[in-house]
Structure 1
Amino acid sequence: MSEASAPHAAERRELTAAQRNAVAELLRVSPVADELGRRFVRAGHELHLVGGSVRDALLGRLGDDLDFCTDAHPDETLRIIKGWAESIWETGREFGTIGAQRDGLRLEITTFRAESYDQVSRNPVVVYGTSLDEDLKRRDFTINAMAVSLPDHVFTDPHGGLDDLSAKVIRTPSTPGESFGDDPLRMLRAARFAAQLRFAVHPDVHLAMTEMAADLDRITAERIRDEFTKLLCGADPITGLRLLVDTGLAERFLPELTGLKLEIDEHAQHKDVYEHTLTVVENAVSYEEEGCDFILRMAALLHDAGKPATKAVGSDGRVSFHHHEVVGARLTKARMKAMRYPKEVTAKVTALVAMHLRFYGYGRGEWTDSAVRRYVADAGDLLPRLHKLTRSDCTTRNRRKAAQLAADYDALEDRIARIAAEEDLARVRPDLDGNAIMELLGVPPGPVVGRAWKHLKEQRLEHGPLNRDAAEAELLRWARAEGLIG
């Protein structure tokens, strides 16, 4: 790999060291990348590894998804890779992108672009470019505006991306105002990269994000949702979340988060509920066993969303937020619907928010086995996440209190395990199914069967498993009380 240019000795030394890291990563994929590059050159075209692939190679974390740019248009790209690629897809063709797979690598090959943006939706309108420099200039950040030409491995970095990568700073190739004016989503993307890479945004970028935050309103909910999801699943979501709030971007699509800054928690253990929430998110991340659990992180972020609307100050001056979990669940559902999250994801996050306070009070010894069964039954397959969310919500600085809460929850989990060993808590169902109910009562399918089933489930939760004779006797007793049989 050779240098495109290096006017200063210090830059040359730094570039060479960084390139050594990149070479080690590129060697793993170069048989495929170089072979593809030769095919394009033979056809009279250019091919460059570009964007996130170069950035990640320089960071020593290149994956199996590779991004390329070329002067070839999509039809020409298809002709070049046909018969060479193991599979080809054209889902990104309208944006000039052709996808392919070879030797376990996913390749996306995009024609040079000089994008313009629809002034209403701010969705990109593709205009093909004519040069690598033009393509790199239109990219979002300097760390994504570097390229490695193939197959000769010439490194191109016209906007100082390598220096910014070394300094761990997020900066734009053109002025931030021009860049964000082209696509306001880039402001949210800056926060996302801060969270993913643990980088800081340049002061000029921060200022532009603050001044232009309202421009985010022109972006579709789906595009905002996708960027925000990546941010929350970043290695350091707290940095990204703080950036959203500090610049005013959160107010444009997630005002519940900003609203938490106004509320002081009832125990004065944190600067405000906002700081408590960020700590809960951080705790939730620490409980993850493998990869990002978006549902857990989102529930941690919104678990106290109902506090601003339920704040009350008592005669003794103490602040309370009664039933904030109910209000918070309603707000969570509405917000995630507005952000176009799938219904099943929204339902799970909403359920966790609604249940996050259920544990409190257990330590006073008020829970019967019936209450434990209901806790497990209501949580369903969310129980492991509910365990983690409840533990994450303990942020008190009082060591004695923290230790007591942890011990109480340990005791609850042990109790759940004990009862589960005796019963099948994972499948708490009535002791008679619908067919047995219809046969015993002599009724057809309909509302009566549903009511009987619900009654038997309540008995199951209250008293534990019943044998067949006891279950039938209880059903007949209920039916007589309801006037269904004599």
Structure 2
Amino acid sequence: MEPILPRRPLHWHPAVEALRDTLAVHSEVYLVGGTVRDAYLHRPTRDIDLVTPGDGRPLARSIANAFSGSYYSLDAERGVGRAIIPWEGNRLVLDVAQFRGPDLETDLLHRDFTINAMAVPLMGDLTGVIDPLGGLRDLELNRLRRCSPESIPSDPIRALRAIRASVAHGLQVEPDTKADLRAAAPRLQAVSPERVRDELFHILDTRDPSAALRALYQLGLLQAVLPEVAGLDSIKQGSPHIFDVWHHTLETVSHLDVLLRVMRGERSDELTDNMPIGAAVFAFVDLRPRIGAELSIEWPQERSHHALLLLGALMHDAAKSVTRTEAEDGRVHFFRHDLIGAGWIHARAKHLHLSNDEADRLQTIVRNHMRPHWLNNDTLTPSGIYRYWRDTGSAGVDICFQAMADYLGMVANTLDQAAWVHYLETVRTLLEHYFFRYDSAIDPPPLVSGRDLIEQFGIEPGPAIGAILEALREAQVEQRIKTKQDALDFAQHVLEEASHNHNQ
């Protein structure tokens, strides 16, 4: 196969030239897949893929050693090794694999999509592309096309990757490929949960996750991996909702994606050119560094907090499918959908082999996603603020922004500006207490201990002690008690009232 000259020059990651020096003694090494695609599209890449006729692991080890990086054997049977090297203050991942078959052409023909079935000789002039299936032409036509009729049936996870690629690169899925994607939905049940999880998180990290989710849902793929969302498009909601549950969910995911990005400091007119987001940026301008730090944590295996929160938004109303009731006056209710949904998302997180901390975080988010709405509709009191943070912990920051997105996804273009400003004031008050008044308003130093209560009142150790201490904390944040004697007097009153109620 002879390389062809593409219609536009290839822009390579600067590490490619350094790799040529490192692997100079290896004549047959090829840049492949997404690395070539991104070079053609002039897009940045965080990883470089290479193939070679023999075992790729020794080459990966050589790269790791040359750049003082780390080496991992990814797949001994297929001869795949990984080097993770430092590069300009960041990390660069390089995978080196043995040909899938006897030669390069066979390797390329067995890949997923034509836009990923291209190669460039590393030791050549880096201008020509080996393109046996017309991937360059498909990129020019903004088309996503399978490599062969076996591409997707042989590995159903490629159906999810197809949607991610189409959204990330603005490609239309051609008809035969789309038919294969739809047919792959039942086969996703046989894919390992870890692979599904990783692809789902990649999708949630795309620049337009709601578009990807919409496409997955239309093809039946999302329901195959998250059966909890099946049928949400048929569930009607009452005022002030203007969408069914599924389209409300998509709106919520979309708004949350934008809110999280601007709060982490991304600057773009596209993100802030609408009134609700611009108002939020203005309302939290002085809090954004603290908010950004809370939203930038990473989970195991580099899963992003951003994607985790979008997963919470995706499933926050899933239990509305089993909780819908309609009153005699026509009002629609979804009683306990938050509590039931919390159990569902915890179980799904465990099925996807997320960590215990991730599963607990998602459960807390879904269980409490209505709390900011309730607080906004009532007078915000010290005890209300205290109980919110007591029950949510650090996830309370996540919930604030999910609730804001939920609100915007509920009212959409019927948004009342004054009502939205009031909502932002409620959220700001919650966040101010968390960031600036935590020690006094959320976790004040205790005035008395459980031992003090036992010694003073002769109470037996047990749940009663915890209940009294909790009542004391609420009284303390409300400034009703300020000293140890205040606390003991308050405890005495609580005990007397409990005894009176018990005797009645």
Fold match by TM threshold 0.5: yes
Q: 1:49 aligns with which of 27, 31, 36?
A: 31
Contact 1:33 1:151 in 2 (8 A): no
Structure 1 residue 5, shift from structure 2 partner: 4.7
2:404 corresponding residue in structure 1? 391
Task: Please give the TM-score of this superposition, normalised by the length of structure 2.
Answer: 0.79
Q: For residues 63 and 330 of structure 2, what CA distance do their matches in structure 1 show?
A: 72
Deviations 1:128-159 (A, max 9, x none): x2211111111111111111111112421111
Task: Say if 2:165 is the partner of 1:193.
Answer: yes
Q: For residues 286 and 276 of structure 1, what CA distance do their matches in structure 2 show?
A: 16
Task: Say if 2:392 is the partner of 1:409.
Answer: no
Change (3 A) 1:396 1:453: closer
Q: For residues 427 and 61 of structure 2, what CA distance do their matches in structure 1 show?
A: 61
Q: What secondary structure sits across from 1:91 in the alignment? A: strand
Q: For residues 187 and 79 of structure 1, what CA distance do their matches in structure 2 show?
A: 32
Q: For residues 445 and 213 of structure 2, what CA distance do their matches in structure 1 show?
A: 42
Deviations 1:216-252 (A, max 9, x none): 1111111111111111121111222122211112222
2:285 corresponding residue in structure 1? none
Structure 1 residue 254, shift from structure 2 partner: 0.9
Letter in 2 for 1:221: P
Deviations 1:387-419 (A, max 9, x none): 211111123557675324313323323544676
Identity over aligned pairs, percent: 28
1:407-446 → structure 2 map (5 Å cutoff): 407-416=421-430, 424-428=440-444, 430-433=446-449
1:105-254 → structure 2 map (5 Å cutoff): 105-113=92-100, 129-152=101-124, 153=126, 154-175=128-149, 178-254=150-226
Letter in 1 for 2:93: R
Higher relative contact order (CA 8 A, sep 6+): 2
Higher mean Cα deviation, 72-81 or 180-189? 72-81
Deviations 1:352-381 (A, max 9, x none): 111122233445544433222212322221
Please give the root-mean-square deviation of Cα atoms over the aligned residues, in Å. 3.1
Task: Say if 2:18 is the partner of 1:32.
Answer: yes
Contact 1:40 1:80 in 2 (8 A): no
Structure 1 residue 435, shift from structure 2 partner: 6.5
Give unmatched runs, 5+ long, in structure 1. 7-11, 114-128
Contact 1:34 1:151 in 2 (8 A): yes
2:79 corresponding residue in structure 1? 96
Task: Say if 2:335 is the partner of 1:335.
Answer: no
Task: Say if 2:309 is the partner of 1:296.
Answer: yes
Task: Say if 2:257 is the partner of 1:285.
Answer: yes
Letter in 2 for 1:224: V
Task: Say if 2:8 is the partner of 1:4.
Answer: no
1:251-266 → structure 2 map (5 Å cutoff): 251-266=223-238
Give unmatched runs, 5+ long, in structure 2. 265-295, 297-303, 500-504
Contact 2:372 2:400 in 1 (8 A): no
Q: For residues 365 and 163 of structure 1, what CA distance do their matches in structure 2 show?
A: 59
Q: For residues 132 and 119 of structure 2, what CA distance do their matches in structure 1 show?
A: 9
Q: 2:490 aligns with which of 462, 468, 474?
A: 474
Q: 1:305 aligns with which of 293, 307, 318?
A: 318
Contact 1:370 1:464 in 2 (8 A): no
Change (3 A) 1:378 1:286: same
2:333 corresponding residue in structure 1? 320
Contact 1:191 1:243 in 2 (8 A): yes
Q: For residues 294 and 471 of structure 1, what CA distance do their matches in structure 2 show?
A: 44
Q: For residues 479 and 358 of structure 2, what CA distance do their matches in structure 1 show?
A: 33
1:265-280 → structure 2 map (5 Å cutoff): 265-267=237-239, 269-280=241-252
Letter in 1 for 2:37: R
Structure 1 residue 264, shift from structure 2 partner: 0.9
Deviations 1:31-72 (A, max 9, x none): 32211341212xxxx101111211222222333422111012
Contact 1:192 1:228 in 2 (8 A): no
Deviations 1:424-461 (A, max 9, x none): 33535643355666776789987675455334334335
Higher mean Cα deviation, 147-156 or 192-201? 192-201
Q: For residues 415 and 275 of structure 1, what CA distance do their matches in structure 2 show?
A: 30
Task: Please give the TM-score of this superposition, normalised by the length of structure 1.
Answer: 0.82
